[in-house]
Structure 1
């Protein structure tokens, strides 16, 4: 089965009544955890972006605490998983400011992580790539935010 385009779906959804749309949304939420998470964000957390950022930061903190520090192999796997989860949450928001704030927080946690990431090339490369990515995203923000986030970014550079 080939999926319809977004424009085709939009046209079809415009012809449905509210009860049908409600049933379609609930059925969609049953199939994937990501659909449920996105629906949760849109319904409950999109009103307060600051609250959403704090919630995601708390989850990042929890995940960093659970990292197995016995070997850099496990640290790399865990850090990549945290970053993957973070990118998913950033996609839900779609807000550039939220994206920069969360990525800066991730890099701050990674920089202060013990054992130091400086001893592992892969983790350093991941960290440096994120800093470059953040720098690109900062240029898309308002001038005042660019300055504030630019200062935070300079502090994170090793």
Structure 2
């Protein structure tokens, strides 16, 4: 996936051992951190826990979990939580995100709002959809949100052209 520099290893033990190595982050390590983040989820209404671990281009990892609210639309998904945390600490460029839930029969997939939120920060970074056993499916943001609209579509030239067409 382009410039993604996550070291691919096989076996949960190897991934866990390299999780804290200062020079590299493994896919398995990133998934492990998303599973850990899921434990902090606040979801008293849906009981659907989600965790995310976001790898920035400077190799920092930001985690997030879903936080529900009695007023449903005020809740925040794990993916947006992790991205907002990263942005609030100065990161705007990401290599990958791993998403974890308690679903055993299928890989967790981000909601439409999270897909668009991820797209704001690029279309080609990796997204790891996981299961609790650590298995995963790798996609990228553009595969999750094809024919998407992003910041580059907001240039003044394009906005003027689009508005003149209507």
TM over 0.5: no
TM-score (norm 2): 0.32
Q: Which has the higher helix share?
A: 1
Q: Which has the higher strand share?
A: 2
From the CA coordinates, give the structure whose radius of gyration is larger: 1
TM-score (norm 1): 0.33
